[in-house]
Structure 1
């Protein structure tokens, strides 16, 4: 998906969703600027910051000279910023000019009475919003948590800000809406509409949650009619929601399933967006579907098959063939990487499922693509995906076989590949064997190594929850020849999945290059 942003000679302006930190804090915890820099294939420089839970406009410089100049404008308060926030408290006044001394004590930002003010904010009442109240904030300085602390001090704490006295909510209701400044003699003005939940907050929250999530993705990406993307990721504990073309696919991880009222709110959202809703109550991951595809559906559609696009690649999706419709969207950036790297390569896709990686490789000009999966049903589905993209499945290889047995046979035949994709399940069962990643990964790594050509590359991912990324790499590489390979990071996750965070993201993996 293409990012939506405003591009100028010296800077770019983006919309940052709530829930994404501004920048990387260590090797495994990346932020917004790293993600957008990767997509633009160009460095960007931070000149101001928004709190992780604050949404709205953010400006990045495109070079060091511009970064220095824009940083000075922010430091000298020559860039006017306007925010909006919600509170559940009735106002005593319509205007407040708040001044205080803000400092950090014991890892918390606080107002400290008795010291000279180092911060100033104008707070102006806007209007009621249901049972809540909308305020405008214009900071005259730029201290951390400034608006949040000043709202708290006036007894109008921000909704969703329990750290500073606010009532619980699904998000921090603070939005950076406007930026105004002059640079090189030219005036600039940028504005972002306030989120839907600020206009009509609903105590039941589910509808607000979906509306805000759609707003965030629409502001961040140029969404096209048939696109597929993650609508709701970590914003709500028990729900993950994807959009596949005209279908809203809801994964419900709650213990007892969604209530009738929650299902109704989801259906109303789907109707307003002209989407068909499918709600699946998910069982314990890793235990298999066991023929429960239909009994776990809380809402569905009459048709069982439809088509959707991802990065202009078409996929066949189904409601009756497992707990997923047939495409894991967190692999989007990895599929894009495979497509870019596949030209003239021999490509092997292990545990290929519906062969999304294989289709991407074929469209990228791979010389040969081999897809291996124990399920004949999934390989037939794979051929449907090839056909949907005008690719003749007869030109490519499909093996309905246990992947370990396939690799052993390939090793005996001295067959190698330039590019291998491997995304094994944590647990699997075939006619020939039972697969457990914690038990079988070492043998799998050895077999893959023997089938990977010199200078060849492996893209490896898994969702095994008991290992961190570093533990996965250690387990995979411990029996490989020392000094004979190089490890790299996978592409960062697309921002519809939030920030790339090794401690939060279920999918983990790496790129490996065989050096000799």
Structure 2
């Protein structure tokens, strides 16, 4: 099995994995604007082995998100079914598929909070809609109520150059797949972590400086 840190560069990661192993297959997916750990199986046997762990919810997944507002979550469980709509977004609905996510606050800033997210199920946009339901939309995730983070919000005396328009500190939502833990075919448990990519790290650094 191999892991890659996604979204830092615009590349086809499956094609990249196939350069190392012709039979490589992606074992799960990340949303388009989510960075972090992805697992690829090098052969069909490994693919089946890890896919079964995902299906039986035996893979431990941890995501980090910067969200709007101050929140003090401690193993906060959101158990709310998710329904995929025709327009490509999701909503909470009793007609949807079961979905559970645990949330724990890691660090609070002046107007934001860094959250550890532990999804039990793997529904489309699960973390995003569950955080939104708590009034803690992911920064930059305008589809689910998040607001972009501007340096002018954080830095006193910030001056924008004339005739320029201020850009968000992150040009995507602040969601990062931080780690994956699963069993190899030989039964050995492995944990893989992805460091923050440049944009996520820069956002957290600016939030630290402004606190």
Give TM class, smaller chain.
0.7 to 0.9
Aligned equivalent of 2:12: 31
SS at 2:130's partner residue?
helix
**Which aligned pairs between 1:274-423 and structure 2 lie closer than 5 A?**
none
How big is each residue's C-alpha offset from its partner over 1:106-143, in whole Å with a ceiling of 9 and x where there is no partner?
Answer: 23332333347611000111112454210000000111
Which of 65, 89, 112 is 1:132 aligned to? 112
Aligned equivalent of 1:187: 189
Partner Cα distance (1:148, 1:18) in 2: 20
Over 3 Å counting, the alpha-carbon distance change for 1:48 and 1:116 in structure 2 is: closer
Contact map agreement 1:129 1:198 (CA 8 A) in 2? no
Higher RCO (CA < 8 A, seq sep 6+): 2
Which of 201, 204, 210 is 1:196 aligned to? 201
SS at 1:201's partner residue?
helix
Contact map agreement 2:105 2:115 (CA 8 A) in 1? yes
**Which aligned pairs between 1:91-490 and structure 2 lie closer than 5 A?**
91=71, 93-115=73-95, 118-129=98-109, 131-168=111-148, 169=168, 170-183=171-184, 184-194=186-196, 195-201=200-206
Over 3 Å counting, the alpha-carbon distance change for 1:160 and 1:65 in structure 2 is: same
How big is each residue's C-alpha offset from its partner over 1:188-241, in whole Å with a ceiling of 9 and x where there is no partner?
Answer: 111122341342236xxxxxxxxxxxxxxxxxxxxxxxxxxxxxxxxxxxxxxx
Aligned equivalent of 2:35: 55
Partner Cα distance (1:56, 1:106) in 2: 27
SS at 1:200's partner residue?
helix
Partner Cα distance (2:190, 2:137) in 1: 31
1:14 partnered with 2:14 = no
Contact map agreement 1:129 1:199 (CA 8 A) in 2? no
Which of 87, 90, 94 is 2:70 aligned to? 90
Structure 1 alignment gaps of length 5 or more: 1-10, 21-29, 203-516
Partner Cα distance (2:42, 2:95) in 1: 38
Partner Cα distance (2:59, 2:119) in 1: 10
Name segments (4+ residues, structure 1) moved above 4 Å: 92-95
Q: CA deviation at 1:18?
A: 5.0
- Bigger radius of gyration among the two: 1
Contact map agreement 1:179 1:190 (CA 8 A) in 2? yes
Partner Cα distance (1:71, 1:198) in 2: 34
Contact map agreement 2:99 2:123 (CA 8 A) in 1? yes
Q: Pairwise CA RMSD of aligned residues?
A: 2.2
Partner Cα distance (2:57, 2:8) in 1: 24
Over 3 Å counting, the alpha-carbon distance change for 1:116 and 1:35 in structure 2 is: closer
Q: CA deviation at 1:93?
A: 4.5
Contact map agreement 2:84 2:90 (CA 8 A) in 1? yes
Aligned residues: 182
Partner Cα distance (1:104, 1:61) in 2: 28
**Which aligned pairs between 1:65-84 and structure 2 lie closer than 5 A?**
65-84=45-64
Q: CA deviation at 1:43?
A: 3.5
- Which piece of structure 1 moves more, 157-166 or 127-136? 127-136
Partner Cα distance (1:198, 1:77) in 2: 31
Q: CA deviation at 1:151?
A: 0.6
Partner Cα distance (2:70, 2:141) in 1: 17
SS at 2:128's partner residue?
helix
How big is each residue's C-alpha offset from its partner over 1:345-375, in whole Å with a ceiling of 9 and x where there is no partner?
Answer: xxxxxxxxxxxxxxxxxxxxxxxxxxxxxxx
Q: CA deviation at 1:80?
A: 0.3
Partner Cα distance (1:150, 1:122) in 2: 9
Partner Cα distance (1:201, 1:75) in 2: 38
Which of 25, 28, 49 is 1:45 aligned to? 25
